[in-house]
Structure 1
Amino acid sequence: MSTQYLKGGGVVSAESELDERLRSEFEKCLQPLEGCHYAYFITCKGREVKPRIFSNYPKRWLDVYKAEGYHLIDPVIKHGMKCIAPFFWREALESREPGQGQEVFASSEKYRISDGLTFNLHDANGLFAALSISNTDRRNDFEQFMMRRAAEIQMTLVQFQSRLTNCFSLNELFPERDETGLSDRELGVLKWVVMGKAYREIAAIYAISVRTVKFHMANVVNKLRVCNAKQAVYKAVSLGLV
């Protein structure tokens, strides 16, 4: 359950506050496309976590999208998970299985959100991000306008994603992602092991004994329910823990 506090006479969740901060920071980066209608989606690949979504789409539509868990069936998100290059939404609709995700577009059409372009990013932290720009104003030159600025928009996405992961840990962005119960020190030791550091080197980094490092790794192995450190490294990477 997210922390809540009062703001302006109402109750606001800490999660919503973070989304608003992220939205504000992102819109500073998106100034060259000021006035566009966009949605920024980020999640952990291969993990069942609640995605982060911030957008200037109508609040009523965002509330419905989140409440219904539409990201699980959204043709745009599903197509983006398999793509690297930007794509227009019609490509996602054409590639979907018959009937799949049709209700998402049927609902979004009410808010004039049914035609657009999505940029994707798959990073080294196991995160997937999608920046979708909607042709809400029904511009006839939308496709040409977007393609002229495609490189600029993609770089904006890359730069913001870098800032995002530098400023926030994955556990801050996705509090429920670590179901293993690993402590900060255990995660820290695990990350250094993944990077190829020897136990004696990790001991020097944390100013602890090699025996203590081995103790932490033994806990990691136990909590990840594997047999040894090598398997722990493989599982941690596959789960996106490090």
Structure 2
Amino acid sequence: MADGMINGFSGLFESLTDASCEADAILRLQSGVQGLGFDRVMFAVIPQPKVSLSDVYMRSNYPTRWREQYDRDNLRAADPTVEHCFKASSPFIWMPQSFQGDQQHALYEEASSHGLKAGVTLPIHGSSGEIGMLTCVRDQAPGNGFINDLHQQLGQLTLLRDLAFDTMRPYMHAPPPSQEVPALTARELDCLQWMAAGKTAWEIGRILSISEAGVNFHIGNLRTKFGVSRRNDVVIKAIRFGLITLPG
């Protein structure tokens, strides 16, 4: 058991600390969270004290429709995880009984309908006044199995939170990339999204009803437009520019 835990810590450390850029770190964080049995992750930090919540640095692979509803309806005001992270350092466990009162119950029901049913929020309190959270969520009704898993994984999740904060800190204060965002065709965007989902050129061709050669042609154009030579670098740059969403 101890050896397995040490190996797990080592793998998480090496994965995040070896990230080549912000988008690469985000993908590695997502992979680490999924390796611990969670479906979704949100990393959110207010990078400086006394700034607006609207200035939060946030990266997640939550469903887009849920994020839009959350922002549109200002559900943050009823979100107990936000209040918890401002006043506590202990984990907040996502279970129905963790949400108190009508507003919080309604929030949990809405989140559950989007596949956010059970999980844990780990508060972040940085040495320079940063406040935030790492939230890892499953699309699974909470029960004894979830609690047992969480007891075993909490150490690795805490390490992952600290590593993610150290890795992402430079990007929280970094200016936006100076490179101009390339203009892409609709077909190139389609290819990008399926590349981010891990599909091969042959699989993308089947999905889009075009030839594999046609897919490779579009990928070649993408490499040229992004100024990179590797397929993975195309995906990383596209995520960084906000052209596609994280696979989830």
TM-score (norm: length of structure 1): 0.53
What is the deviation of 1:28?
A: 4.5
Q: Distance in 2 between matches of 1:134 and 1:124?
A: 26
1:171-224: CA deviations, max 9, x gaps? 76xxxxxxxxxxxxxxxxxxxxxxxxxxxxxxxxxxxxxxxxxxxxxxxxxxxx
Within-5 A mapping of 1:197-216: none
Residue 144 of structure 1 corresponds to 148
The one-letter code of the counterpart of 1:169 is H
Residue 166 of structure 1 corresponds to 170
Answer with 1 or 2: which has the greater Rg: 1
Equivalent pairs, count: 152
Runs (5+) with no aligned partner, structure 1: 1-17, 173-242
Query: Partner of 1:81: helix, strand, or coil?
Result: helix
Which protein, 1 or 2, shows the higher relative CO under an 8 Å CA cutoff with sep ≥ 6?
2
Within-5 A mapping of 1:151-230: 151-169=155-173
Q: Distance in 1 between matches of 2:81 and 2:52?
A: 18
Query: Partner of 1:130: helix, strand, or coil?
Result: strand
Of 71, 75, 91, the match for 1:70:
75
Q: Distance in 1 between matches of 2:115 and 2:171?
A: 34
Establish whether residue 132 from structure 1 lines up as the match of residue 121 from structure 2.
no
Establish whether residue 40 from structure 1 lines up as the match of residue 43 from structure 2.
yes
Of 52, 58, 81, the match for 1:53:
58
Q: Percent identity between the aligned chains?
A: 15
Runs (5+) with no aligned partner, structure 2: 1-20, 177-248
Q: Distance in 1 between matches of 2:66 and 2:166?
A: 28
Q: Distance in 2 between matches of 1:159 and 1:106?
A: 31
Q: Distance in 1 between matches of 2:44 and 2:75?
A: 12
Residue 30 of structure 2 corresponds to 27
Of 93, 99, 114, the match for 2:99:
93
Q: Distance in 2 between matches of 1:161 and 1:108?
A: 25
Matched-pair contact (CA < 8 Å) for 1:83–1:120: yes
